[in-house]
Chains A and B, each alone.
Chain A
Amino acid sequence: MVVKTIIKVLTSLRLTVGCLALGILLVFFGTIAQVDAGLYKAQDQWFRSFFVRTQGGVPLFPGGYLIGTVLLVNLIAAHIARFQLTWKKLGIHVLHAGVIVLLVGQLATDMLSREMQMSFAEGESRCFSVNPQSSELVFISETSDAFSNKVVAIPAGLLTGQKEISLPELPFRVRLKEWFVNSDVRQRAPMMDTNAPPATAGHGRNVTLIPLPETKKMDERNLPGITFELVGAQGSLGTWLGHAKLRDQEVTVGDKTWQMAFRFEREYHPFTVELLKTTHEIYRGTGTPGRPDTAIPKNFQSRVKLDNPQRRETREADIRMNEPLRYEGLTFYQYQMGRDEVQQNLGTSTLQVVRNPGWLAPYAGCVLVGGGLIIQFLMHLIGFIRKRRTA
């Protein structure tokens, strides 16, 4: 009896309609929330969650995952319960199979895909991409073998959560002192900066850290900064500043020297990409005088050289708007373009680097749903016209 009721509820059209209605509300309010929270935060809060919660963590509204899952269960259950293999239902089956592919594919993308960035100036090469959403504190030491280094990386999230970390690979403990979501550094000016420098060791002694408000804009990114203390067996090794704009710093413990850097999380590739030339064209006579940013862009283009020793491959390629480069399971998109801060004559380029094993799912889903809808509606239309003819 209970099972029957459950089955009845799970397969009911009322549940479908209810989920669709909740979905519409969720998407609507999730969009509005972006105005204040920014795109990424609102996405996590509303769509990539089982519940939309208040600041205190109280569930307020079903989140994207929950609604999606219930819809998926409802869809599958209804089809198992009412499945009829007739020509009349062909379109319906095809289109709902497509919806399943889309829902599952989107979930897979959500879990498996990685979005990274690769930034460089003309003439520079990169063999890694970075994830600007998260940073890491890395310690690098040379090993006896001259070709490799020992790298210890501590994700920033771990650091902020635990405050103090000791690892067997490191001869010291790392104690987090301060954390800035977004910040900038500049050289200390003797007349202006009378306060104490943020650090007692390393480059941090010579710079001033400027905390900035967290940016929520799509085209800007936060540069986090930290101050941390290293505590060895003999006591403190000083307070250090970590910031993406600082060069690597060195700390020596015993006979071993460690290179330190606080930087965006990296993923290394088995190939290098060299930026040869950037092209940024605008349409003549567009925009406000003196404000090149208001002009209408005509073309952004990066010419790069790929060098893959494993495949003995060295070739050049163009990456431009709407024409990404697909290589080794990664796709490189033209994202941003600018000028080098120091050498103004050098163009810089930021590429969006994406790995998405589920990228085919939407294509398949689209064909299935579109095809199913067309079959179904054509059958309706033909029936309608026939009926009118005979009437």
Chain B
Amino acid sequence: MKKWLPWIMAGVFGVWILSTLRMPRDKEWALSEFGKLPLLSNGRFQPMDSLARNSLLQMLEKQSLHLQDEKRTMPATGWLMEVMMNQERADTRKIFRIAPGNFELKSLLKLPPRNMAAGEDGKHYSWNQIKPSLEALEKEGRRVAQIDAAHRNPFDQSIMKLQNALFLYMRLKNTIHPENATNFVADLGRYAASIKPGMEAFQLQQQEKAHDEAALQLFGDFAQRFTIMIRMETPLLVPPHHPERSRDEWMRIGEALIEVARGEPMHFAIPAYAKMALAYREGRAADFNKAVAEYRQALTPQFIPELKKASREYFFNHLQAFYTASIVYVMAFLLACFSWFNLSEPLRRSAAWLVVLGFVVHTCGLVFRMVLENRPPVTNLYSSAIFIGWGAVVLGMILERFYRDGIGTVVASMLGFLTLIIAHNLALGGDTMEMMRAVLDTNFWLATHVVIITLGYASTGVAGFLAIIYLVRGIFTRTLSQATAKALSRMVYGILCFATLFSFVGTVLGGIWADQSWGRFWGWDPKENGALIIVLWNALVLHARWGGLVRERGLMNLAIVGNIVTSWSWFGVNMLGIGLHSYGFMDQAFWYLMLFVGLNVALIGLGLIPQHYWRSFRSTSGGTPPPGGNIPGRPAPAGA
């Protein structure tokens, strides 16, 4: 049994992972077919499903909506359908999240407090609940807009966040038809019929001649409602009339409708969406499904690339590869930790296999994203988290391959899990595959500078976590043997060498990129300085070790400081809100950063305790420790 444990574990998780590949089948409504329809939003082609998930993330911080009273979960696409096609019902859904502690905002908007009996959880509110206080919110919004983003307090930020969420919601509501339309199919017919008499009446009016006032009024009403749709800057649902000329010229439904008045033919997408909307509103699932299928059919000959891209991204969204990987990593972490206590080889092997499995899923997700975006792995803060985790797992697996003592597995699984959690939280900002701004739009530098510098972060982080393992095992357990301590010390040293190489080369490549695109190699920009601090820190640690200024325990403590340095460079500098690099401004993460720094400082404090008080060393030296404890001899100087 014991011999087979690794195989069984890998098998069980393998089957589970394969099961996530299966796409859910539509029951009544063709959710998945609708979710795969292509559109242009946020500068890129994406499926409805991505628009739904990213929008819901920005409002609710979740990718699906749990309906408390109906005891069911609404998938993002289902929610989006409701928002676009049955606005009155959507207005009752509690999708706007306000932090439970943000009493200021809740009282400004006169929102009900937590009262579970009345169905109020105190943190989620519907459009209908917020609507009466929109004026107060707008007033605050105008005030906050005058303040520099870097100087806004948490209340100001929550105002902006809610206002953006409401904007987005209004845009979505007006994407297919004006939100107050109840039968858009009939509206389209009336609009088409109103164009000719309306335009004639308009021309006569311009010439100050007698004209049909009613015809002008009807046409004018339509034009006004469609113009509002355009002004809201809704997602672009209508594909170009002539894709052979340009594939990018997608239109908003409002734009395409105004064009009809100018003599363009009615695009087939508009009646198609109108049919879907009416069928959905009237609860006719079969008709809705038919309308979706017909629209897909109509798109097929000319828009195969867009349909394919949308389907692929839909599949990727469903896969949730990084979520799956993080669960596997947690399992691996627990198994590997247990293996230290009972020294069970099968447990250790199982953990190592699980890390490999998680790594495969992690890599698939990473590569899938790269293919979808047609970019190198790191394009924004979110993807940097995923890639740093990936790099750390690679390093951990290499260590495990050499040492076979579970340490590499623990580091790999812990860092893999942590970085994926960080990525998950960074994804709350919305679309994680947004387009690259012109300054960053070069695959060459993204592939070299950014990849190498993130590997520098990853390896500095691995060294830091190895040091944490050393401290925790040494101080709190009896599992840190002399051999393990030595091995850990060698690992930290080796990884630090790599960290120095990567962070140095990455930093200088960044300078060269800056020289090529901004005209100066080094500008003391916060992000550059952050990278420089990592390089200097790694150089300091290595020199301190070569000079004999620190030994094993000191090396470990310094490596933990490396964690703080990395977190500063990765996140801290982005919170300063200045400089050319500060694209990824974030606010709430500040407290987590402080927490992380605090934890590391506490660990360093523990690391300063002389080693003869540590549990691991107390046991081996049998009570009275010799001066200097069991600290192994002075490390050999470099090159020796």
Contact = CB atoms under 8 A, between A and B. Distances in A.
Interface of A: 12-14, 16-17, 20-21, 23-24, 27-28, 30-32, 34-35, 39, 42-43, 47, 88-89, 92, 102, 106, 109, 113, 115, 218, 282-290, 296-300, 320-324, 331, 333, 352, 354, 356, 359, 362-363, 365-366, 369-370, 373-374, 376-377, 380-381, 384, 388
Given A43-B524, A218-B578, A27 B533 contact: yes
Contacts of A92: 638-639
A273 to B, nearest CB: 16
Interface stretch (B110-118, B292-300, B502-510, B627-635): B502-510
Contact of B235 (A218, A285, A296, A376): A285
B212 to A, nearest CB: 34
B117 to A, nearest CB: 39
Contacts of A363: 512
B435 A298 contact: yes
Given A322-B442, A370-B505, A370-B508, 11 more contacts: A35-B577, A283-B435, A284-B248, A286-B434, A289-B167, A290-B231, A297-B437, A333-B519, A365-B508, A370-B501, A376-B639
Which of B43, B516, B532, B580 has most chain A Cβ within 10 Å?
Answer: B43
A92 B542 CA distance: 13
Nearest to A110: B522
Contacts, number: 187
Given A13-B546, A28-B533, A365-B508, A115 B520 contact: yes
B505 A366 contact: yes
B377 interface: no
A84 B469 CA distance: 38
Nearest to B531: A27
Contacts of B511: 362, 366
Interface in B29-57: 40-44
Interface string B536-572: 1101100110110100000000000000010010000
Contacts of B236: 284-285
26 contacts: A13-B546, A16-B543, A20-B536, A21-B540, A24-B533, A24-B537, A27-B533, A27-B536, A31-B573, A43-B524, A88-B639, A106-B522, A115-B520, A218-B579, A284-B43, A285-B236, A298-B441, A321-B439, A321-B517, A324-B517, A352-B518, A365-B508, A366-B505, A366-B511, A370-B508, A376-B638
B549 A14 contact: yes
A374 B501 contact: yes
Interface of B: 40-44, 150, 164, 167, 171, 231-233, 235-236, 248, 250, 402, 434-439, 441-442, 445, 494, 497-498, 500-501, 504-505, 508-509, 511-512, 515-526, 529-530, 532-533, 536-537, 539-540, 543-544, 546-547, 549, 565, 568, 573, 576-580, 638-639
B439 A109 contact: no
A322 B515 CA distance: 9
A296 B583 CA distance: 11
Contact of A47 (B520, B524, B530, B540): B524
Given A31-B529, A288-B164, A388-B402, A297 B438 contact: yes
A71 to B, nearest CB: 10
Contacts of B44: 283
10 closest A-B pairs by beta carbon, nearest first, are A283-B43, A13-B547, A354-B519, A20-B540, A366-B508, A289-B233, A321-B438, A322-B517, A373-B501, A31-B529
Nearest to A299: B438
Contacts of B537: 20, 24
Nearest to A295: B43
Contacts of A333: 517-519
A17 B512 contact: no
A286 B579 contact: no
A102 B86 CA distance: 64
Nearest to B546: A13
The dominant DSSP class at the A interface is helix
Contact of A362 (B402, B500, B521, B573): B521
A24 B540 contact: yes
Nearest to A89: B639
Given A20-B543, A23-B536, A286 B43 contact: yes
B530 A31 contact: yes
Contacts of B167: 288-289
Interface core residue of B164, B437, B439 (most chain A CB under 10 Å): B437
B536 to A, nearest CB: 5
Given A13-B547, A17-B547, A373-B501, A27 B532 contact: yes
B536 A289 contact: no
B435 A286 contact: yes
Given A283-B42, A296-B43, A34 B501 contact: no
